[in-house]
């Protein structure tokens, strides 16, 4: 039960979450150097390389999840309970999908009205380079973006950090806001407009996590957002304007 869980302190929660994320990213970078046959000082700019991005996600996510689960266990809790990995109800899923779809439509409409591209340069670059590397690389990119990324990010932000920072109902909106802001800020590949959209989605995901008590729902909705983004990228690649 959530009431029986004794979370880490707020500062410790931030520190351990940061350690898990950075340790996982470092391991992924080491894997990338082995794959490229170069050391860190010789690494090229791979920010738009779909194969490199896929490798980083596939390596870093399991490591991050294992570390967060270990921290939850050290705190004396079942990792699934600590990270709120409980199934949402059918009505909660339906409501979440409806709200997420509405936000996607609003965001795309706003982008169109402001004259901004719905598909970012980063999305186009990783799709194009993965596609050039072959069908398997492209399939792995889809899996990394739609499955692994939502699991890794939601377990960290709406799972581990949320658990450690939410101590009572009065904390809810502050925790929702801060986790959404931190989540948006790690997306360094985007401009401020797209980062703002990510923050808005983060507010929605945080509220869903708080209202339902389920990080799994946040994962599902995050996957829906990323799936829509990949489909838009596919359409843009097939029928460029």
Residue 3 has pLDDT above 60, yes or no: no
Assign 104 to helix, strand or coil: helix
Query: Which distant-in-sequence residues (6+ apart) come within 8 Å of 85 by Cβ?
Result: 79, 155, 159, 214, 215, 216
Give the Cα separation of 155 and 36 in Å (integer): 30
Query: Which distant-in-sequence residues (6+ apart) come within 8 Å of 54 by Cβ?
Result: 126, 130, 137, 140, 141, 144
Give the Cα separation of 18 and 10 in Å (integer): 12
Instruction: Quickly state the pLDDT bin for 54 (edges 50, 70, 90).
Output: very high
How would you class 168 by CB atoms within 10 Å of its CB: exposed for 0-12, middle for 13-18, buried for 19 or more?
Answer: exposed
Give the Cα separation of 215 and 151 in Å (integer): 9
Instruction: Quickly state the pLDDT bin for 47 (edges 50, 70, 90).
Output: confident
Question: For position 35, what pLDDT does the model report?
Answer: 81
Chain position carrying tokens 């979440």: 96
Residue 124 burial (CB count, 10 A) = 17
pTM of the model: 0.94
Q: For the segment 10-30, what is each residue's pLDDT rounded down to a tens digit?
A: 999 999 999 999 999 999 999
Question: For position 241, what pLDDT does the model report?
Answer: 64
Q: For the segment 150-165, what is each residue's pLDDT rounded down to a tens digit?
A: 999 999 999 999 999 9
Instruction: Quickly state the pLDDT bin for 40 (edges 50, 70, 90).
Output: low
Question: For position 190, what pLDDT does the model report?
Answer: 86
Question: For position 226, what pLDDT does the model report?
Answer: 97
Question: For position 34, what pLDDT does the model report?
Answer: 87
Instruction: Quickly state the pLDDT bin for 4 (edges 50, 70, 90).
Output: confident
Residue 2 has pLDDT above 70, yes or no: no
Residue 196 has pLDDT above 60, yes or no: yes
Question: For position 1, what pLDDT does the model report?
Answer: 47
What's the token pair of residue 136?
């398997």
Share of the chain above pLDDT 90, in %: 81
Give the Cα separation of 198 and 149 in Å (integer): 14
Q: For the segment 231-241, what is each residue's pLDDT rounded down to a tens digit?
A: 999 998 888 76
Beta carbons of 218 and 87 less than 8 angstroms apart: no
Give the Cα separation of 217 and 23 in Å (integer): 26
Give the Cα separation of 63 and 49 in Å (integer): 22
Residue 132 has pLDDT above 80, yes or no: yes
Contacts 24+ apart (CB under 8 A), 62-65: 63/23, 63/24, 63/27, 63/28, 64/20, 64/21, 64/23, 64/24, 64/152, 64/155, 64/156, 65/151, 65/152, 65/155
166-181 average pLDDT score: 95
Output the CA torsion sign for 205, 179, 123, 118: positive
Residue 90 has pLDDT above 70, yes or no: yes
Instruction: Quickly state the pLDDT bin for 37 (edges 50, 70, 90).
Output: confident
């Amino acid at each position: 039960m959530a009431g029986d869980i004794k979370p880490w302190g707020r500062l410790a929660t931030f520190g351990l979450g940061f350690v898990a994320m950075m340790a996982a990213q470092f391991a992924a970078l080491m894997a990338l150097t082995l794959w490229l046959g170069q050391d860190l000082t010789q690494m090229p700019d791979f920010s738009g390389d779909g194969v490199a991005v896929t490798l980083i996600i596939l390596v870093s996510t399991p490591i991050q999840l294992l570390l967060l689960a270990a921290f939850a266990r050290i705190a004396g809790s079942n990792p699934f309970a600590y990270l709120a990995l409980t199934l949402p109800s059918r009505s909660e899923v339906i409501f979440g999908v409806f709200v997420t779809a509405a936000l996607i439509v609003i965001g795309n409409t706003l982008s169109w009205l402001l004259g901004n591209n719905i598909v970012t340069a980063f999305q186009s670059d990783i799709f194009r380079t993965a596609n050039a590397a072959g069908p398997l690389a492209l399939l792995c990119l889809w899996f990394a973006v739609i499955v692994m990324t939502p699991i890794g990010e939601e377990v960290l932000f709406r799972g581990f950090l949320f658990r450690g920072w939410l101590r009572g109902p009065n904390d809810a909106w502050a925790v929702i806001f801060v986790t959404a802001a931190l989540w948006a800020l790690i997306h360094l590949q985007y401009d401020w407009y797209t980062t703002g959209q990510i923050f808005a989605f983060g507010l929605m995901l945080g509220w869903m996590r708080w209202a339902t008590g389920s990080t799994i729902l946040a994962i599902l909705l995050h996957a829906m957002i990323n799936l829509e983004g990949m489909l838009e990228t596919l359409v843009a690649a097939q029928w460029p304007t």
